[in-house]
Amino acid sequence: MCPTVAMEKENEEALQTQYQKGVKRLYEKGIDKIPDKYILPVQERPNTTQAEPSEVCRENIKLPIVDFAELQGSNRPQVLKSLADACKQYGFFQLVNHGIPSDVISGMIDAAKRFFELPYEERSKYMSTDMKALVRYGTSFNQNKDNVFCWRDFLKLTCYPISDVLPHWPSSPTDFGKLVATYATETKYLFVMVMEVILESLLGSNKTGEDDEIMKDFQDGSQLMVVNFFPPCPEPDLTLGMPPHSDYGFLTLLLQDEVEGLQIQYKEKWFTVEPIPNAFVVNIGDHLEIFSNGKYKSVLHRVKVNSEKSRISVATLHSLPFRCMVRPWSKLIDEANPRRYKDTNFATFLNYISSQEPKKKEFLESRKSI
């Protein structure tokens, strides 16, 4: 190998190592331009589409609001209908009056901020490219496969069962485990309650023993937490914090800080979701689309970044236990509504995203019956 080629290879490897250390380190270096590795093709940038310029949407969207407290009262039928409409039309809704104390929510956001304020040497103890790791600190989406990196760092935590995984979580900040475990326990309980309501919205109030078995599986189901950090970006129009994607589980409960960034695709346009203090943005995952046999749809969403403020979000992704197969619910299949999806499980999903760069809803498309 000639010296010039060897030097170019060495420089490329050095740059790759730098990128894999995360965007927070790039931001802290005071860069005024983002590296080429983060620049999206023109048609994929946040302020452009393949449609005419007039079709580019920069408006905010007010998602349907589901008041969880009203589900316990006389307005339950109306709230159930609103919930079902939101799941069919948007794949997203905002959940308010959910019962999780505000100090638990603020404690989670505070713990997340302080974790990302730790020196890189402390955060990097948890850096891993192993998709099955109980704790994984990383950057972009999948730094092994992404052709273009996205402007985010993340901490992924397996959250269930808490007693088994807590010893593996970061020990710094010192109160991190306590605050995050409390939040994880509360969101797990909330997920189970919301899923009970969603099952009712799918079928009505006629419960059977089979429904009780499904609820037991949800109570013992998987729970992953992804804590996202999006630092200010010097050229936000050239990149994204997260590319368009759908979530793989049943439901995602997303906690946002006050900084806007989340966008959903609605009627082929991108809309920014307005944060509501102490509310959860709830979205349908691929597994619920499969389970509902397509009645409820998972929806593409992405994250924009900005040049002035950092942003924190906490996503808890909930599904059946890892060992369980996800398949269309038998009660939703009949002659008029034939089965539309193949069986799948978490191992299938991991194998898929480990072998290629995840794009849009391609995994779900691969699960559709022919």
Whether 3 maps to a domain, the answer reads: no
Which of 265, 250, 264, 273 has its CA nearest to residue 202?
Answer: 250
- Specify the pLDDT at position 90: 96
* Residue that has been written with the tokens 């008029």 in this structure: 336
Return the top range by mean pLDDT from 10-14, 117-121, 128-132, 344-348: 117-121
What pLDDT, in 10s, does the model give residues 105-127?
999 999 999 999 999 999 999 99
Question: CA 118 to CA 227: how far, in whole Å?
Answer: 14
Q: Does the residue 121 lie in any domain?
A: yes
**What stretches of the chain show up as alpha helix (H) in DSSP?**
3-20, 23-28, 76-89, 102-116, 120-123, 162-165, 176-203, 209-219, 286-291, 346-355, 362-366
In a domain? residue 17: no
Q: Is residue 15 part of a domain?
A: no
Note down the domain range covering 140: 22-365
Over the stretch 329-344, which tens digit does the pLDDT of each residue have? 999 999 999 999 999 8
Least confident of 14-28, 157-171, 209-223, 225-239: 14-28
CATH number at residue 283: 2.60.120.330
In a domain, 370, yes or no: no
| Token code pair at residue 336 | 């008029």
* Residue matched to tokens 């995050």: 180
In a domain, residue 78? The reply is yes
**Mean pLDDT for all residues in the chain:** 88
Question: How many structural domains comprise the chain?
Answer: 1
Would you say residue 12 lies in a domain?
no
Percent of the chain with pLDDT over 90: 73
pLDDT at residue number 347: 75
Which amino acid is present at 47? N
Q: Do the Cβ atoms of 283 and 298 come closer than 8 Å?
A: yes
Query: What is the pLDDT, as a whole number, of residue 355?
Result: 65
